[in-house]
């Protein structure tokens, strides 16, 4: 809760930002509107300010090493309403592949739940030779059970990788379908032209009303040579 707009005391600052006893102003450098050093003014620097909180809780980290897939089979439950997966430098072993996901509903196996999705991308070539915003009809699904692509034609060049964020909404619901949104950035590079910076946005829903409790990430061919996925839970509203 923010510090009020009236008189500000050292106790108000400690309540909002924490700190030791006895209270020393030097420990609040950089908090509120306070400078990083020098003079601190209680009213001017802290009136109406609040501590910034991060609502993301790290649940697990999954590191690829010539992995056929990265499967997360625990930690997705009713503890959180929203789960966020952050991809960092996922490098494919094979060239021109799609990175994608599938899930299991509770008690199921095989990573083959029905998905309805949309898929569009926008890109720019390194030499400025081509750029576009495009919907890809061959990358969406209509109640399909394949892995849903989150990228297209990702290169396996030594400096190429995939990074991005994938969000799963309400996976523990037994009333509603489970929605997802993904935003990824990748490099596409082929011998005939310069590399592309490509952002891909995929979204949709998993068309079951059973809780989703497992998720799998993989490239369409070959291993995940390297990279990391972190799973976070977002504090319930």
pLDDT digits (tens, 9 = 90+) for 165-188: 999 999 999 999 999 999 999 988
pLDDT confidence bin for 1, thresholds 50/70/90? low
CB within 8 Å of 112: residues ≥ 6 apart: 102, 145, 146
- Domain chopping of the chain, boundaries: 1-53, 56-234
pTM of the model: 0.79
CB within 8 Å of 123: residues ≥ 6 apart: 130, 131, 132, 188, 196, 197, 198, 199
Q: What is the pLDDT of residue 226?
A: 98
CB within 8 Å of 126: residues ≥ 6 apart: 194, 195, 196, 197
Contact 41, 69 (CB under 8 A): no
- Residue bearing the bigger pLDDT, 38 or 75: 75
pLDDT at position 61 over 80: yes
Q: 28-58 pLDDT, tens per residue?
A: 888 888 888 888 887 787 777 777 666 889 9
Q: What is the pLDDT of residue 101?
A: 98
Q: What is the pLDDT of residue 13?
A: 81
Least confident of 11-25, 152-166, 183-197: 11-25
Q: 189-219 pLDDT, tens per residue?
A: 766 778 889 999 999 999 999 999 999 999 9
Task: Write down the CATH number for the domain with range 56-234.
Answer: 2.60.120
Q: Is 100 buried (19+), middle (13-18) or exposed (0-12) by CB count in 10 A?
A: buried
Q: 214-234 pLDDT, tens per residue?
A: 999 999 999 999 999 999 999
Q: What is the pLDDT of residue 156?
A: 92
């Amino acid at each position: 809760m923010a510090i009020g707009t009236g008189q500000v005391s050292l106790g108000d600052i400690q309540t909002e930002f924490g700190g030791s006893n006895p209270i020393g102003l030097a420990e609040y450098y950089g908090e509120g509107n306070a400078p990083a050093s020098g003079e601190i003014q209680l009213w001017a620097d802290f009136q109406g300010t609040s501590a910034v909180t991060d609502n993301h809780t790290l649940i697990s980290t999954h590191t690829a090493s010539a992995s056929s897939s990265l499967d997360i089979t625990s930690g997705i439950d009713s503890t959180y309403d929203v789960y966020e997966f952050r991809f960092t430098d996922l490098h494919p072993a094979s060239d021109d592949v799609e990175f994608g996901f599938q899930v299991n509903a509770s008690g199921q196996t095989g990573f083959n739940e029905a998905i309805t999705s949309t898929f569009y991308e926008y890109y720019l070539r390194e030499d400025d030779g081509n750029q576009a915003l495009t919907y890809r009809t061959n990358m969406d699904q209509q109640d399909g059970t394949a892995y849903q692509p989150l990228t297209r034609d990702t290169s396996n060049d030594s400096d190429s990788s995939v990074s991005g964020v994938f969000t799963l909404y309400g996976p523990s619901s037994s009333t509603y379908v489970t929605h997802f949104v993904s935003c990824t950035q990748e490099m596409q590079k082929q011998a005939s032209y310069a590399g592309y910076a490509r952002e891909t946005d995929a979204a949709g829903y998993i068309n079951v009303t059973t809780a989703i409790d497992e998720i799998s990430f993989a490239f369409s061919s070959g291993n995940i040579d390297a990279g990391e996925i972190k799973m976070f839970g977002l504090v319930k509203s």
